[in-house]
Chains A and B, each alone.
Chain A
Amino acid sequence: KNEVEQSPQNLTAQEGEFITINCSYSVGISALHWLQQHPGGGIVSLFMLSSGKKKHGRLIATINIQEKHSSLHITASHPRDSAVYICAVRRGGSQGNLIFGKGTKLSVKP
């Protein structure tokens, strides 16, 4: 079993829909990252969080440390949000090592 599991693997939505991507992990962590990989391949860091909630524009990331679960929400989705969203965790006690989920491929149709 992978240490970081994401769901769903693939997601198709209509423009304007509210989107949720989930990430569950099985190890103790010190931080969790959400990354976005564009269709062209570039990777951008969206959030790094260790507790609570963070918001940036239409994106919201939450984490529940007790339940070992994080969610990434996109409000008022747009076709330009189409990308692969990757969850990664840094083990507790580890300095730099990140363990990655397999990603969720999101396609937003106009």
Chain B
Amino acid sequence: DAGVIQSPRHEVTEMGQEVTLRCKPISGHNSLFWYRQTMMRGLELLIYFNNNVPIDDSGMPEDRFSAKMPNASFSTLKIQPSEPRDSAVYFCASSLREINEQFFGPGTRLTVL
């Protein structure tokens, strides 16, 4: 298996623009997690899905952030409008079940100017 796939790997955008991050989990994994990593706050869970259903979105910073998982092989994290403080590395991870070991994607480095 190719592992968790994220795109793009790098994104530079201007404040106010819409940003969409994409994730393809490992085939057969039922749980998908979106994390954000910054120097100040480290790794934080934003939202996770189980069987394509959002289970906990309490980490989503505000209404500008939204996440979807239309099917078992694809998820998106959207920021609209983006702000400079959203600059971070966004990781997607998947696991067989939500209590199992998680496999991380390579991350998307987002820079909002």
- Interface flag for A65 (CB, 8 Å): no
Q: Secondary structure at chain A's binding surface: helix, strand, loop or mixed?
A: strand
A: contact size bracket: 20 to 34
- CB closest chain-B residue, reference A102: B42
Return chain A residues, CB-CB under 8 Å to B98: 95-96
B50 and A96: CB pair below 8 A? Answer: yes
Cβ-closest chain B residue relative to A84: B42
Interface size counted on chain B using CB atoms at 8 A: 24
Q: Does A64 lie at the interface of the complex (its beta carbon under 8 Å from any beta carbon of B)?
A: no
- Interface-located stretch among B20-28, B62-70, B78-86, B101-109: B101-109
Chain B interface SS verdict (over half): strand
Least CB distance, A40 to chain B, in whole angstroms: 9
CB proximity of B88 to chain A, nearest CB, Å: 12
Is B89 in contact with A41, judged by CB distance below 8 angstroms? yes
Some 17 contacts from A to B, beta carbons below 8 A apart, are: A31-B99, A33-B102, A35-B104, A41-B89, A41-B107, A42-B104, A42-B107, A43-B93, A45-B102, A45-B104, A48-B100, A86-B42, A96-B56, A98-B33, A98-B45, A100-B44, A103-B42
